[in-house]
């Protein structure tokens, strides 16, 4: 039973009341949005539903399948005891993670008019019937049946905080362009029910908790939108430049013009060499500054009474220029890729960097500019305790406890956490864990290093997605993670919201299958399902990581869902869905073994074929064998001597993945495998 006056109970009551008034509405949903515990009749079918009855059925299914004796409005961390994890948020290694971009994942053309939303000029997320067709928290509650079918124990939400609009790349803007991190984005509320977006967010977390699924929110601590609320309140927390300086034209080639436009500072080759040498040697003393011409773009922050928000939504100011002895028009500059310092990307027009440190000399500041040495590789002269921007830091430190208290979240993913000042990050972690010792912290760090443990993280994103499709990358990954070992868990992700989709890489769904299987069964891997992966989705969300110039050129005129209205291919009937569910089922059956970092549980076989890989996980009286052929065009011979591991295996091994691989079984002769694997196929055995 739902708690009286709980957010989910209020939504249910609102739906019941609505049923008395609601006329016939054309509302269609994917068959895959089935209630918890109910299998979709036809995965590729679209069904017409009464929206009120549809959502009530989902809520009642959640009630029926809810865990007993928990308080779902509070974090599960103190209520569910981990069997295989440990202390301090290590429960993230259990089950797996489903990565949810709310606005995209439950977007759907409910009235089948051939477009998602765009029926209202003032609000493009609504259709002509006033129904929100982009994703909402209410529809995400209805997605919990789909999510729970993978046996995941955690949902990782991309940012759900209020989005700014100055410099938006698309119709809706990026969830990383954060106008106010203490507020929830209004367009994630569903107008079907009479409750505000905060109440609907709480209801979503309540519903997930009832099913034993924890919720991790992603936060951005270093940047804000260019029209952020904080700019009006505290202009001194931001960098300002002369309004007469134009942003760099991405197509500009003339170096003289480039130096007169705003973008990342342009360093001479000899200076770049010094920068790279010092940073690679962890020497952050007297890091080379940008050219004086670039530094002169920047002006001191204006006073709050000299800052204004225009009707068009842009924030400008009047800053006092000591050299000119007068007020000058200033604006908020966009951010840019902060490392390496010669990155050629154009400025990110929708976000700006926060000023983490104050200058030693306020009137004639030495570090009043945005560059690698002020926003990431902090110069030692700047990164001093007495120069910490304490009011800003306190505001940032208070963010996680606010969400713990108000929403009962269970953990946080930190965007670019390794670039947040060390002292600030330490205070963020310590403050959150004072409230909840089991609170989890995840880092968007692609390196799997000891430093992440010291910083208080429980897991990192890792680099598997970036190397496993490359010729030597897969072997290096297996050697590093399985043979040599890693200090902390990483995401078994073959894609995320910034990378190409796995099914869009060479080999398509077959590549997606063997890479996901491999990642899921590696030591220390946290299975990670990026929403849409399980549907065989090929359209990227963003082109931020690992895209070739020709790929970006092809996508140049295509809307990207990180910024624009889009929906997933819910009716594609991809084999990826059943494959992902089966792999996750087997992984969860052996979670105690597979979640271990211990390399003694891993054995990498020599196969005599550079395209065939085979590795074993063993322990607790179980042996689990993964074999795959990565050649996408030809069958390959596989020869594997199981040696001592063949004990109790029998004369043949049944392939758990036979319905996807074209190989039913493998026969053993004196503990040896000698067979031919179909092209781009993967196989799983246990005994």
Tens of pLDDT, residues 660-677: 998 999 999 999 999 999
Is 593 in contact with 616 (CB distance < 8 Å)? no
Cβ-based neighbour number of residue 77 at 10 Å: 22
Non-local (6+) Cβ contacts of 3 within 8 A are 9, 72, 73
DSSP label at residue 390: H
Enclosing H/E stretch for 141? helix 137-142
Handedness of CA 596, 470, 583, 440 (dihedral sign): positive
Residue linked to tokens 């006329």:
23
Non-local (6+) Cβ contacts of 644 within 8 A are none
pLDDT at 138: 98
**Structural tokens at position 640:** 């594997």
Handedness of CA 553, 529, 38, 58 (dihedral sign): negative
Question: Three-state DSSP class for 570?
Answer: coil
H-type alpha helices, 437-507: 450-454, 464-467, 473-477
pLDDT lower than 70: segments of the chain: 22-23, 83-86, 344-346
Q: How many Å apart are CA 14 and CA 195, to the nearest integer?
A: 8
Most distant CA pair in the chain: distance in Å?
89
Is 565 in contact with 116 (CB distance < 8 Å)? yes
Enclosing H/E stretch for 29? strand 28-30
What residue ranges define each of the domains in the chain, with the CATH number in brackets?
7-77+88-220+394-460+562-570 (3.20.20.80), 229-382 (no CATH), 592-686 (2.60.40.1180)
pLDDT at 348: 84
Phi, psi (degrees; rounded to nearest 5) at 546: 65, 30
Nearest to 25 by CA among 54, 64, 45, 66: 54
Q: How far apart are the first and last CA of the chain?
A: 42
Q: How many Å apart are CA 605 and CA 613, to the nearest integer?
A: 7
Task: State pTM to two decimals.
Answer: 0.96
Is 439 in contact with 77 (CB distance < 8 Å)? yes
Cβ-based neighbour number of residue 595 at 10 Å: 22
Nearest to 73 by CA among 210, 193, 229: 210
């Amino acid at each position: 039973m739902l708690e009286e006056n709980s957010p989910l109970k209020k939504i249910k009551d609102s739906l019941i009341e609505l049923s008395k008034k609601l006329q016939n509405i054309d509302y269609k949903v994917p068959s895959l949005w089935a209630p918890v515990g109910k299998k979709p009749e036809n995965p590729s079918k679209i069904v017409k539903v009464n929206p009120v009855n549809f959502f009530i059925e989902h809520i009642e299914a959640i009630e029926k399948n809810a865990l007993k004796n928990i308080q779902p409005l509070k974090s599960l961390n103190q209520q569910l005891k981990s069997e295989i994890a440990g202390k301090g948020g290590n429960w993230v290694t259990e089950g797996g993670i489903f990565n949810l971009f709310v606005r995209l994942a439950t977007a759907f053309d409910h009235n089948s008019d051939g477009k998602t939303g765009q029926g209202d000029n003032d609000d493009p997320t609504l259709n002509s019937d006033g129904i929100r067709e982009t994703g909402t928290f209410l529809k995400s509650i209805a997605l919990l049946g789909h999510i729970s079918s993978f046996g995941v124990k955690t949902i990782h939400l991309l940012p759900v905080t209020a989005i700014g609009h100055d410099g938006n790349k698309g119709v809706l803007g990026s969830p990383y362009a954060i106008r106010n991190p203490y507020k929830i984005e209004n367009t994630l509320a569903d107008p079907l029910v009479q409750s505000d977006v905060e109440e609907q967010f709480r209801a979503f977390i309540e519903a997930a908790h009832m099913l034993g699924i924890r919720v991790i929110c992603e936060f951005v601590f270093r940047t804000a939108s260019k029209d952020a609320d904080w700019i009006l309140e505290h202009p001194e927390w931001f960098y300002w430049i002369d309004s007469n300086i134009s942003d760099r034209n991405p197509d500009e080639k003339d170096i003289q013009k480039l130096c007169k436009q705003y973008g990342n500072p342009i360093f001479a080759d000899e200076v770049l060499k010094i920068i790279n040498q010092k940073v690679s040697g962890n020497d952050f003393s007297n890091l080379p500054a940008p050219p004086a011409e670039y530094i002169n773009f920047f002006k001191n922050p204006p006073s709050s009474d000299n800052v204004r928000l225009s009707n068009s939504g842009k924030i400008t100011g009047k800053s006092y220029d000591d050299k000119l002895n007068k007020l000058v028009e200033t604006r908020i500059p966009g951010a840019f890729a902060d490392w390496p310092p010669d990155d050629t990307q154009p400025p990110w027009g929708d976000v700006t960097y926060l000023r983490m440190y104050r200058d030693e000399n306020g009137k004639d500041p030495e570090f009043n500019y945005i560059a690698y040495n002020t926003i990431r590789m902090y110069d030692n002269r700047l990164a001093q305790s007495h120069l910490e921007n304490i009011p800003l830091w306190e505001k940032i430190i208070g963010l996680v406890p606010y969400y713990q208290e108000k929403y009962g979240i269970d953990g946080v993913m930190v965007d670019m956490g390794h670039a947040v000042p060390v002292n600030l990050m330490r205070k963020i972690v310590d403050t959150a864990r004072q409230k909840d010792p089991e609170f989890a912290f995840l880092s968007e760090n692609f390196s799997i290093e000891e430093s992440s443990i010291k910083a208080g993280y429980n897991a990192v994103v890792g680099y598997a997605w970036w190397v496993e499709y490359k010729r030597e990358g897969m072997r290096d990954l297996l050697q590093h993670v399985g043979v040599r070992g890693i200090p902390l868990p990483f995401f078994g992700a073959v894609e995320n919201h910034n990378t190409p989709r796995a099914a869009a890489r060479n080999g398509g769904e077959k590549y997606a299958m063997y890479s996901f299987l491999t990642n899921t069964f590696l030591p220390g891997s946290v299975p990670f399902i990026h929403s849409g992966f399980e549907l065989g989705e090929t359209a990227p969300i963003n082109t931020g990581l690992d895209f070739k110039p020709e790929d970006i050129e092809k996508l140049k005129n295509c809307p990207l869902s990180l910024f624009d209205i889009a929906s997933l291919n819910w009716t594609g009937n991809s084999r990826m869905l059943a494959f992902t569910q089966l792999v996750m089922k087997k992984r969860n059956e052996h979670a105690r073994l597979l979640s271990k970092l211990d390399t003694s549980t891993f054995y990498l076989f020599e196969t005599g074929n550079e395209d065939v890989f085979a590795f074993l996980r063993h322990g607790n009286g179980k042996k689990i064998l993964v074999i795959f052929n990565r050649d996408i065009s030809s069958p390959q011979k596989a020869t594997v001597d199981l040696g001592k591991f063949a004990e109790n295996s029998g004369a043949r091994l049944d392939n758990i993945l036979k319905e996807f691989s074209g190989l039913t079984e493998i026969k053993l002769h004196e503990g040896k495998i000698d067979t031919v694997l179909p092209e781009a196929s993967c196989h799983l055995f246990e005994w």
